């Protein structure tokens, strides 16, 4: 069997076209959605992510603001910027690119963002609302994976979803979103004994561990849908996932590639969250360009 390729580039593009149309409607009403990104220091990976986010938001017709701060910035100075953006009606989404330098408390900074502008979905208020099933901003990567599953017609209800990885930004919210859609969910992590015994039971296998090609065909139940979140570099410096694509695709019924699977969906969902925020602000008459 050779699994169907789940094309995150094509699905992301389709959703971004829909977003662009809705942005146009808001702009016509005088409410241009605005996304502000705070980048601290000079981490080259962070800079690339931020550039891509800015480029995509501008392509969608949004206002994009980049606040670059040196890695010597104090926590108080960073919080001041967050407060300024919280009070700026032309900004609907605020994102602080992680990781932050060690002298800054990331949790404190995340909690300082107005939950109504927390388009990364990391604020405890949004995480709490997500868990009890209330409308909230959803963490972009798991939200993007749900869209991939929906748009490829993958049945979730009643299926066994196994999540490998339990981080706050991917694994944990991923399981919750699948549970809400009536999957039976199993979480695995670095202390799981006999990992393969669990992964082999998965109808939907989601791998987010940050370990190059860790999961291979022999860990996968024939016919499973496999979502590879990992973004790693192999021994030749080539981008690759947590799943060994070559062996996994022979067993899976559908599988995401790396690159071109989950990655493009994460940015797309950031734009979607920003759009939602701007639509809400516009409906409440709180928008200025
Ligand atoms: P974290 O490092 O925060 O978490 C990794 C998780 O994997 C932990 O829960 C850890 O378990 C678990 N884990 C690590 N090693 C093993 C193992 N050998 N067996 C089982 N579980 C293991 O990572 P993130 O969730 O932030 O990211 C995971 C991967 O996804 C990374 O490659 C990252 O780059 C990528 N990523 C990609 C995104 C995209 O848009 N495509 C977005 C976000 C992340 P424990 O809790 O026990 O330590």
With 80 as the cut, is the pLDDT of residue 48 above it? Answer: yes
Confidence of residue 1 (pLDDT cuts 50, 70, 90): low
Positions marked active-site: 53, 97, 120
Q: What is the pLDDT of residues 178-191, one digit of tens each?
A: 999 999 999 999 99
**CB atoms < 10 A from the CB of 257, how many?**
19
CA 255 to chain centroid:
18
**Which residues does residue 243 pair with via DSSP β-bridges, in sequence order?**
215
**Which residues does residue 212 pair with via DSSP β-bridges, in sequence order?**
none
Domain boundaries, the chain: 30-117, 140-261
pLDDT at 24: 98
Q: Do domains 30-117 and 140-261 have the same CATH topology?
A: yes
Residues 6+ apart with CB under 8 A from 25: none
Q: Are 226 and 208 in contact (CB under 8 A)?
A: no
With 80 as the cut, is the pLDDT of residue 288 above it? Answer: no
pLDDT at 286: 83
Q: What is the pLDDT of residues 135-171, one digit of tens each?
A: 999 999 999 999 999 999 999 999 999 999 999 999 9
Q: Of the candidates 99, 101, 67, which has an alpha carbon nearest to the alpha carbon of residue 82?
A: 67
Topology of the domain covering 140-261: Rossmann fold (3.40.50)
pLDDT at 289: 63
d(CA 103, ligand 1 centre) in Å: 23
d(CA 85, ligand 1 centre) in Å: 30
Residues with CB under 6 A from ligand 1: 141, 164-167, 169-171, 188-192, 195, 208-211, 214, 229-232, 262-263, 266
Instruction: Provide mean pLDDT across the span 2-9.
Output: 95
Q: What CATH class does 30-117 carry?
A: alpha beta
pLDDT at 228: 98
Q: In the predicted model, what is the mean pLDDT of the chain?
A: 97
Q: What is the pLDDT of residues 215-269, one digit of tens each?
A: 999 999 999 999 999 999 988 999 999 999 999 999 999 999 999 999 999 999 9
Q: What is the pLDDT of residues 110-137, one digit of tens each?
A: 999 999 999 999 999 999 999 999 999 9
- Scored b (16 or more CB within 10 A) or e, 97-134 reads beebbeebeeeebbebbbbbbbbbbbbebbbebbeeee
Q: Are 263 and 7 in contact (CB under 8 A)?
A: no
Which of 189, 198, 242, 271 to probe ligand 1 with, by most ligand atoms within 8 A of CB? 189
């Amino acid at each position: 069997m050779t699994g169907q390729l789940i094309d995150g580039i094509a699905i992301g593009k389709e959703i971004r076209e829909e977003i662009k149309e809705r942005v146009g409607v808001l702009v016509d009403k005088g409410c241009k959605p605005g996304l502000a990104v705070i980048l601290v220091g000079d981490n080259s990976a962070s800079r690339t992510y931020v550039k891509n986010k800015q480029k995509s938001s501008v392509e969608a017709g949004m206002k994009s603001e980049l606040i670059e701060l040196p890695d010597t910035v104090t926590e108080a100075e960073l919080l001041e910027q967050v407060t300024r953006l919280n009070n700026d009606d032309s900004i609907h989404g605020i994102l602080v690119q992680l990781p932050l330098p060690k002298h800054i408390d990331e949790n404190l900074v995340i909690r300082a963002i107005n939950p109504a502008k927390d388009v990364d979905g990391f604020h405890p208020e949004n995480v709490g609302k997500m868990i009890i099933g209330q409308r909230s901003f959803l963490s972009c990567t798991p939200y993007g994976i749900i869209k991939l599953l929906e748009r490829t017609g993958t049945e979730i209800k009643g299926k066994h979803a196994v999540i490998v990885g339990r981080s706050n930004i991917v694994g944990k919210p991923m399981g919750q979103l699948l549970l809400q859609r009536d999957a039976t969910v199993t979480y695995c992590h670095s202390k799981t004994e006999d990992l393969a015994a669990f992964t082999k039971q998965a109808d939907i296998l989601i791998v987010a561990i940050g370990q190059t090609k860790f999961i291979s065909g022999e860990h996968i139940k024939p016919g499973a849908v496999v979502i590879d979140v990992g973004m790693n570099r192999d021994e030749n410096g080539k981008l690759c996932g947590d799943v060994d694509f070559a062996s996994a695709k022979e067993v899976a019924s559908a599988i995401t590639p790396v690159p071109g699977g989950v990655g493009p969906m994460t940015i797309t969902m950031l734009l979607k969250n920003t759009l939602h925020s701007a639509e809400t602000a516009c409906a409440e008459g709180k928008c200025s360009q």
